[in-house]
Amino acid sequence: MARRPDGKAARTERVTFTRPAADRIAKVVRTVEQGDRGAEPLRFERLGGGAGATIRVATFTGVWATGTTHVVNLGAPSGTSTSSTAAAYNAFLPLYAESPVQCLLGKPRPTSEAAWHLLNVNLATLGGFQAGEIQLFGHTTSTGGYVQWYSITTCSTAAA
């Protein structure tokens, strides 16, 4: 249980201050009241994680090499019928998509950078994915190492 300044247990009593504490608080209040009314208000950093980040769902098509930026379509906010585009940086995987592929973007805040960053991509939306087949995930050699799905054939061995 919390303790009062005199060392006794604090119950459901009102807060009490010592005379020096009350004088100190009064001095601060008078200083603030006499200060510049046009000054910026006090701001406190958020506890437990800093300033946070913004995360958005987007789509892209075409070639998106690792270490490059690409124009993506940001999803329309709920309740609106419009979407916008933004430049996003890919440090994840070299990707190629013939049709729109959904991805997840992040933007650290506060930041001096304007670019979004690729966080993840729905690999099942990449070309060649077949849900009903056993597939391996690999990369091509003919198109510069972009990731793709490979279908495989299963074999079993029988005792003769």
What pLDDT, on the 0 to 100 scale, is given for residue 80? Answer: 52
Q: What is the mean pLDDT of the chain?
A: 78
Q: List phi, psi (to 5°) of 44.
A: -120, 140
Tell me which of 140 and 72 has the higher pLDDT: 72
| pTM of the model as a whole | 0.54
Q: One-letter amino acid identity for 90?
A: N
Q: Return the bridge partners of 90, or none.
A: 68
Given a cut of 50, whether residue 20 has pLDDT beyond it is: yes
pLDDT band at 155 (very low <50, low <70, confident <90, very high): low
Distance CA(100)–CA(70), nearest Å, equals 13
Report the candidate in 78, 120, 87, 82 with the shortest Cα–Cα distance to residue 101: 120
78 against 72, higher pLDDT: 72
- End-to-end CA gap in the chain: 79
Rounded CA-CA distance 101/124 in Å is 9
Residue 113: the pLDDT is 58
As a whole number of angstroms, the distance between CA 103 and CA 125 comes to: 9
Amino acid at 10: A
Angstrom distances, CA of residue 31 to CA of 26, 77, 159:
9, 45, 92
Instruction: Check whether 23 has a pLDDT greater than 90.
Output: yes
Q: What is the SS3 assignment for 34?
A: helix
Query: Is 144:94 a contact under the CB 8 Å cutoff?
Result: yes
Average pLDDT, integer, range 36-41: 76
Partner residues linked to 72 by β-bridges:
86
Q: How confident is the model at residue 71 (pLDDT cuts 50, 70, 90)?
A: very high
Residues in the chain: 160
Q: Of 17-21, 75-79, 111-115, which one has max mean pLDDT? A: 17-21
Greater pLDDT, 159 or 60: 60
Low-confidence winner among 34-38, 50-54, 133-137 (lowest mean pLDDT): 50-54
- Give residue limits of the domains in the chain: 53-151
